Chains A and B, each alone.
Chain A
Amino acid sequence: MMGVIQQLREQAKKLLEEKKVDLVIGFGQGTELARTTPVFIDSPEGVSALTWGPFCANNLAKYLIDYKNAPGNVAVVVKGCDSRSVIRLLDDNQISRDKVVIIGVPCAGQLEWQKVAAEVKPGAGLKETADNGESFSVKTDAGDYSFNKKDYMLHRCLVCENPNPVISDITVGKELPVKNYEERFAEVSELEQMSTEEKSAYWDKQFSRCLRCYACRNVCSVCTCQVCVFDQMLPMWVSKRTNLSENTVFHITRAFHVAGRCVDCGECDRVCPMDIPLRKLNQLSPLGEFKPEDPEEFM
């Protein structure tokens, strides 16, 4: 990935030097070997903070909203899935096209940091990563590791049909072959096989442990209401109490609010501290194309 990182820094530097943008939002090394963290770079000297590799799971697109009224333009580094979020934001008039510069990076998949951290020697420093097709090699100052994608990658990446950003102004790195996955909705099909009672029991179990932190909502590029219904106090549609009933109202309402607009970026699923399978919920096809005559038991 060293080549991509170098190019990324050069492109960012150029954009900042030529004053095409005032800010570049990208990935920087995080405080754990297998994590990156969003970085906000406003000077050409700062670009050395940029990195790239299989630990860039975050979707940075939503940060663009924070700068929509800023005087200058903003560049953002996006993967394939994140680029769909940018389109969402453009379509929803959340950002204007002429104010953003999209730096697209073809993405070979993102690893779950917790799984990698469980294998790597604690405290080891990251040296280099490389994509080997079926696996990623990760070189550290405490030895070299290999992580096969099947077991270590985020679920969303296993069935990713847009490894190459679908919108970008600058592309960094080589385009990747595109595959179609029959099994993209396999988890949803499994749900569909269940009886109404089974489905209800399944989701009750998931929803009941929701902390209602709203990380899923806050990270979502579809959730852009200025005042979310769940934050309204007068009237208070949903109380702060966490119990199955209130939690279910939250989840069903949000599922309907993102229906047909969710870009399946998988961020809600990734950030949930309670591992609630939100991607599965938001992938449910009937929600994606809701019709009044849909049967009631589709969930």
Chain B
Amino acid sequence: MEARIVKKGQLSELLDKLAQEYDLVAPVQEETLTFFRKVSGAKDVFLEYTNSDVSPKGCFLPQNEKTFNYTYTGDSLEIVKPGDEKKTVLFGARPCDARAITTLDPVFEGEKFGDEYYSSKRENTVIIGLSCSKVLSTCFCYAFDGGPCDGTGSDLLFTEIGDKYYVEVNTEKGKVLADKYSQIFSSQGADQLAKGKEEIAKKLAGEFVRKVDLTGVKELLDDNFELPFWNGDDYKKCIGCGTCTYVCPTCHCFDIFDHTIGDFNGARFRCWDSCMYPEYTLMAGGHNPRPTRKERVRNRFMHKLKYHLDRYNMVGCVGCGRCIRKCPVNIDITKIINDLKEVAQNA
């Protein structure tokens, strides 16, 4: 694998250049929170963050997306789709969030059901990951083979070492970008920093406080849809707000509806939806196969820990810890995993 060096002093120049030539999406600070937004240059970018409040998945699956406009003229229906996606650079995605995008890929880019809206954004976007320099108490990416300096999902991965960024070139897409700005991405001496990165990764790996053990959990869930465990406190305390799913980098459910103006014109939208809402499974006629919070809470964890694995051979969680931090009642996926592990052990 190739590596480059970007001097910290040159980062602003790079970001400004990127913003000129691409849609640059990067972390920005708004009041107390950090979001990924389209920025006009380096001056808007905020890098003193550990984990943004909402994940950057919106780059590929926006919370609101117009899929087409329609006009019905009486004898014909005209459908106009949005134009081509703009070339985009997503800068500063943390390793958990970059890895999360690889868990979305098989959902939207499967052979049978490709999703052109997702794919065109994915194709047109270069992901520049940024290694973490701190581990939060809620982080547990290590449990899913991730890590604070893991490059999965990043076309380029930046790791801060002293006054430089050590840049790993992970894909062809990343290489093209680095070559394009070769006066900033220097090749000289890059290999010597590899060891520095190893050390940082090792140091950070020792900072995790949440112990997560998945032993036997998948097998337990495979064999048991019903478990007395799900009758415990978790569903009783859940307020069904869906915050956990909206901030999650791997959750990807959406709803589709039409917004009609007058009788014959309108647009079709898709917007994020959440399995934590009762309407999510409400059927015409009023039947609801997940009638209470018990079934809904179970579904969220079944999806993360079993269904995603069944379908795509990947865990549906990357351990970013957002759902833990944001859940108003402290429902904690690491506790659920460990509790399930215990159930499995005692079975």
Contact = CB atoms under 8 A, between A and B. Distances in A.
Nearest to B62: A242
B137 A273 contact: no
Interface centre among A66, A122, A275 (most CB of B within 10 A): A122
Contact of A273 (B64, B247, B274): B247
A241 B247 CA distance: 16
Interface in B200-252: 207, 209-210, 233, 236-237, 239-243, 246-247
Contacts of A72: none
Nearest to A243: B64
B205 to A, nearest CB: 14
A286 interface: no
10 nearest A-B residue pairs (beta carbon): A123-B209, A215-B241, A271-B328, A37-B330, A122-B137, A38-B237, A30-B330, A31-B332, A240-B271, A218-B239
B243 A211 contact: yes
Interface stretch (A101-109, A171-179, A231-239): A231-239
Interface of B: 30-33, 35, 53-54, 63-64, 135-138, 207, 209-210, 233, 236-237, 239-243, 246-247, 255, 257, 259, 269, 271-274, 277-279, 324-326, 328-332, 334-335
A122 B209 contact: yes
A58 B242 contact: no
A209 B269 CA distance: 19
Contact of A241 (B53, B269, B278): B269
Contacts of A233: 279
B137 A117 contact: yes
A123 B137 contact: yes
B19 to A, nearest CB: 22
Contacts of B35: 209
B335 A39 contact: no
Interface string A181-225: 000000000000000000000000000010101110011000000
A156 B193 CA distance: 50
Contacts of A30: 330, 332
Nearest to A117: B137
Nearest to A209: B30
Contact of A214 (B242, B332, B335): B242
A30 B255 CA distance: 33
Contacts of A241: 64, 259, 269, 271
Given A211-B63, A233-B279, A38 B324 contact: no
B137 A66 contact: no
A123 B332 CA distance: 15
Nearest to A66: B236
A39 B259 CA distance: 43
B137 A32 contact: yes
A5 to B, nearest CB: 18
A232 to B, nearest CB: 9
Contact of B335 (A31, A40, A63, A218): A31
Contact of A37 (B237, B241, B259, B334): B237
Contacts of A32: 137-138, 324, 330
Contacts of A214: 241-242
A35 interface: yes
A36 interface: yes
B243 A273 contact: yes
A122 to B, nearest CB: 4
A155 interface: no
B334 to A, nearest CB: 7
Contacts of A39: 233, 237
19 contacts: A31-B330, A32-B138, A37-B233, A37-B237, A37-B331, A39-B237, A40-B233, A63-B237, A66-B236, A122-B137, A123-B209, A214-B241, A215-B243, A218-B239, A219-B239, A239-B257, A240-B272, A275-B31, A275-B32
A40 B234 CA distance: 10
Contacts of A40: 233, 236-237
B63 A215 contact: no
A63 B236 CA distance: 8
B266 to A, nearest CB: 12
B233 A38 contact: yes
A270 interface: yes
A66 B292 CA distance: 11
A181 B210 CA distance: 41
A275 B209 CA distance: 26
A213 B137 CA distance: 25
Contact of B328 (A66, A123, A209, A270): A270
Nearest to A49: B233
Contacts of A114: 325
Given A215-B328, A233-B279, 16 more contacts: A38-B233, A122-B207, A122-B209, A123-B210, A209-B35, A211-B54, A213-B243, A213-B274, A215-B242, A218-B239, A219-B328, A239-B257, A240-B255, A241-B269, A242-B63, A242-B64
A274 interface: yes
Contact of A271 (B241, B272, B273, B274): B241
B246 A273 contact: yes
Contacts of A62: 239
B236 to A, nearest CB: 5
Given A31-B335, A213-B243, A273 B326 contact: yes
A213 B237 contact: no
Contacts of B279: 231, 233
Nearest to A214: B241
A58 B328 contact: yes
B65 to A, nearest CB: 10
A140 B160 CA distance: 33
Nearest to A240: B271
Nearest to A232: B279
B240 A218 contact: yes
A27 to B, nearest CB: 10
Nearest to B209: A123
B257 A236 contact: yes
Interface in A256-274: 270-271, 273-274
